Structure 1
């Protein structure tokens, strides 16, 4: 017999509230009203700060987000390969790059290594302890460009 955790049921409850049209912040208020007494729902920064604090040190969360992005990229690639999307592949490459970024950062978090504020995949791979050959390094360099600008902008932004 499968036993489900409180967290599982909390997520189910949140999903049901969202399906019924509850705004993002309202679902938390419905479940944990004591946490929100006196909280201004027009200023949710304290909630986001708490969420960031809890998730930023959890390598499983970073890895999970990496897997979600990779699956999203796979779906885009499949549609693009079949000619079902107008995207030229830029969005796919951006999402793949972001997936690698989160994967490397999950290794950093798991090993208690400080995350540097960069999107440079080669730097993150090196910090995470990966040894790359020239081809892998070139691919990560290419994907880094998509994270910075090619996946989002029509022209390069001076941030590299």
Structure 2
């Protein structure tokens, strides 16, 4: 049964996650590092869906890397729960930087568990230095940037 989730932005790329015992920390809920890993998986999954993979990055000698990451941990998730991560590209200057947002929801009640934001920068893989985005990045990533007039509260 499809659930009408209250996403922060329209038409997210989504990835489902099931909470298992390995995700639980000593406090009894999903460890914050797991949420960060899920953001990484969702971001990379979105990149793959847009047609850019690690081989493309190597061929272009270019990669988008995280310059800054912010996470708001809103509610906890527990063993046995099902979650869905939504992600969006919300900015691209067409030169060097992009922005990506995340929202993790618990499927049972649609409540937001986490919101995240990445500031990304394009680098040359061969030396790690900033470089202008290749045209392939602007066409694939740039075309995926969504309008961000919608606001949310934490």
Please give the range of the TM-score, normalised by the shorter of the 2 chains: under 0.3
- Higher RCO structure, 1 or 2 (CA under 8 Å, sep 6+): 2
Higher helix share: 1
TM-score, normalising length from structure 2?
A: 0.28
TM-score, normalising length from structure 1?
A: 0.27
Higher strand share: 2
